């Protein structure tokens, strides 16, 4: 028999259903405003005795559908709210819940509610119910009847332990700051779990996607799912080096010499640029990358974004035809002047360190005609918070795919990238501000491996740049 709860009402699961092990929490809602799109999300916070999540994976939402201990699973994001049944469902195996977890909080938020002037006054027939997952028999239900105005998030209900018994409470508290209200309330610095029953968190300090990143993920998933999938792969590489919430300006500098023609015509450069855009969606506050082109001349052509990325590179080539030469130095110098118009070399000790660096992805397929200038500008740039990631297209001694004996034998047919190799090892710099690798074909490497390569030396440069007072 289903019990109907009012706000603040409680239900003792352990007494009313003592043999219950697997429960489901169904949440549903409808909208009053016909013709408007509401993106409403259910999220869960699994809290310890300090009312904080003990690990980021105990924050379960559309981008993390299972808890760290495997006890709780989310059905996924329902964006429409159509129909009369459950819109989203949370499944909980009570026997698997980590003993450190004392409370499980269920919240519902309107995605981008403030930006769209949407709030819970426009939501009707909202409910939360708890039922036996196996028999489907409903145990308790709370129908939301409170009047809301500007609230964009709702703490709907909670499962909690008291006297070693699981109980449920209907909460019904509204907040006006969206999901961030709960992130601020329930997420603090977490510690590694000590129990061997659960996976050990490897990093000493876990970081969390902030509200801006969560909003961006929703937009990516909706408007640019391909970029979203790439960004998730970049996330894995960034987590490995503890740069989950790191911020930097991302720049893609592309060779437009004539020898690059086939790479542009086959769409390989467009697809590569999309991979760098995905990295920009993680590093850059504007979710964009700045594009520079270089051949005989250098061109600052603007930003590639999730709104304009489709056919961005082919459209550029209509305006900037391929050129008959390659000059790295001109490109390096222009980029430096754009981001740091005044050289820091002579006044380094008197300048205030900056909070955000610039990450340059520099792509070429041939040698430069201005080696002395390139060396000079790269040395001067070592006094600035700019990291240069050089990638050559063609074989070299540093071919990322040319490992082992077969890779060694193939070096007999390498392209001439000795200058880039020398740049990578160049002395007389304030800090080592560059890395280099080559790929015979930019599409022969898995996306995950590419992002790992892009983070090969950058994290160490960040640490060194901070010790040298280039960055905060």
CA-CA distance, 429 to 118, in Å (whole number)?
Answer: 54
172 and 7 in contact (C-beta within 8 Å)? yes
Cβ(152)–Cβ(119) below 8 Å: yes
What is the 8-class DSSP label of residue 2? Answer: P
Q: Is 226 helix (H, G, I), strand (E, B) or coil?
A: helix
Structure tokens at 48: 């310890």
Could you give the residue ranges of the DSSP H alpha helices within 210-344? 211-223, 225-240, 261-265, 268-283, 312-319, 328-339
β-pairing verdict for 138-143 and 72-74: unpaired
pLDDT tens over the chain, length 472 residues = 788 888 889 999 888 888 888 999 998 888 776 656 777 888 999 999 888 999 888 999 888 899 999 999 998 765 444 444 567 899 999 999 999 999 999 998 887 777 778 888 888 888 899 999 888 888 999 988 877 777 888 899 999 998 889 999 998 888 877 787 788 788 854 444 333 333 333 333 334 455 566 778 888 888 899 999 999 999 999 989 989 889 999 999 999 999 999 999 999 999 999 999 999 999 998 899 999 999 999 999 999 999 999 999 999 999 999 999 999 999 999 999 999 987 555 444 434 556 789 999 999 999 999 999 999 999 999 999 999 999 999 866 555 555 443 343 344 344 568 899 888 888 889 999 999 999 989 998 999 999 999 999 999 999 999 989 999 7
Confidence (pLDDT) at 341:
83
Q: What pLDDT, on a 0 to 100 scale, did the predictor assign at position 268? A: 96
Pairing between strand 386-393 and 434-439? Answer: parallel
Q: Can you tell me the distance from the alpha carbon of 27 to that of 90, in angstroms, rounded to the nearest whole number?
A: 8
Contact 234, 280 (CB under 8 A): no
Q: Which helix (H) or strand (E) covers residue 255, if one does?
A: strand 249-255
Length of the chain: 472
Question: Which pLDDT value is given to residue 457?
Answer: 94
Neighbours of 288 (CB within 10 A): 20
Cα 173 from Cα 109, distance rounded (Å): 12
- pLDDT at 104 (0 to 100): 96
The runs of H, that is alpha helices, within 284-370 are 312-319, 328-339
Q: State the DSSP H helix or E strand holding residue 420, giving kind and residue range, or none if neither.
A: helix 418-424
- Cα–Cα–Cα angle for 125, 128, 133, rounded to 5 degrees: 130
Burial class (CB in 10 A: 0-12, 13-18, 19+), 158: buried
Do 92 and 69 meet the contact criterion of CB atoms below 8 Å apart? Answer: no
Pair 401, 354: CB distance under 8 Å? no
Residue 393 — φ and ψ, nearest 5°? -100, 115
**pTM score, whole prediction:** 0.59
Cα distance between residue 4 and residue 141, in whole Å: 5
- The span from the CA of 435 to the CA of 459, in Å, is 11
Yes or no: say if 284 and 277 are a contact pair by the CB < 8 Å rule.
no
């Amino acid at each position: 028999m289903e019990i109907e709860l009012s706000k603040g009402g409680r239900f003792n699961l352990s007494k009313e259903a003592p043999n219950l092990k697997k429960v489901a929490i169904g949440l549903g809602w409808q909208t009053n405003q016909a013709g408007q799109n509401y993106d409403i999300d259910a999220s869960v916070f699994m809290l310890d005795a300090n009312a904080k999540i003990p690990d980021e994976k105990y924050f379960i939402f559309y981008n993390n559908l299972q808890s760290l201990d495997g006890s709780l699973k989310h059905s996924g994001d329902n964006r429409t709210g159509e129909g009369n049944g459950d819109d989203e469902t949370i499944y909980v195996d009570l026997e698997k819940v980590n003993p450190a977890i004392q409370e499980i909080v269920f919240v519902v938020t309107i995605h981008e509610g403030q930006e769209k002037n949407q709030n819970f006054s426009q939501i009707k027939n909202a409910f939360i119910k708890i039922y036996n997952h196996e028999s489907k028999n409903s145990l308790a239900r709370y129908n939301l009847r409170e009047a809301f105005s500007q609230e964009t998030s709702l703490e709907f209900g909670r499962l909690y332990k008291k006297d070693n018994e699981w109980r449920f409470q209907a909460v019904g508290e509204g907040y006006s700051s969206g999901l961030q209200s709960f992130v601020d309330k329930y997420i603090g610095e977490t510690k590694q779990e000590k129990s061997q029953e659960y996976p050990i968190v490897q990093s000493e300090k876990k970081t969390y996607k902030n509200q801006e990143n969560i909003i961006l993920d929703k937009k990516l998933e909706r408007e640019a799912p391909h970029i979203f999938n790439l960004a998730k792969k970049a996330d894995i590489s960034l987590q490995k080096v503890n740069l989950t919430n790191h911020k930097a300006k991302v720049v893609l500098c592309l060779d437009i010499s004539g020898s690059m023609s086939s790479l542009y015509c086959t769409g390989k450069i467009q697809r590569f640029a999309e991979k760098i855009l995905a990295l920009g969606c993680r590093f850059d506050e504007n979710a964009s990358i700045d594009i520079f082109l270089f051949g005989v001349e250098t061109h600052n052509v603007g930003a590639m974004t999730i709104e304009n990325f489709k056919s961005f590179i082919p459209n550029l080539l209509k305006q900037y035809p391929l050129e008959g030469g390659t000059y790295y130095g001109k490109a390096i110098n222009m980029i430096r002047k754009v981001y740091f118009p005044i050289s820091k070399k002579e006044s380094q000790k008197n300048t205030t360190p900056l909070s955000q660096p610039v990450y340059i992805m520099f792509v070429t397929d041939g040698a430069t005609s201005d080696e002395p200038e390139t060396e000079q500008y790269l040395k001067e740039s070592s006094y600035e918070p700019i990291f240069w990631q050089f990638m050559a297209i063609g074989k070299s001694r540093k071919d990322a795919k040319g490992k082992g004996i077969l890779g060694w034998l193939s070096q007999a047919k390498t392209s001439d990238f000795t200058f880039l190799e020398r740049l990578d090892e160049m002395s007389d710099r304030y800090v080592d501000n560059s890395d280099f690798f080559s790929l015979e074909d930019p599409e022969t490497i898995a996306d995950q491996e590419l992002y790992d390569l892009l983070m090969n030396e950058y994290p160490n440069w960040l640490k060194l740049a901070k010790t040298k007072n280039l960055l905060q």
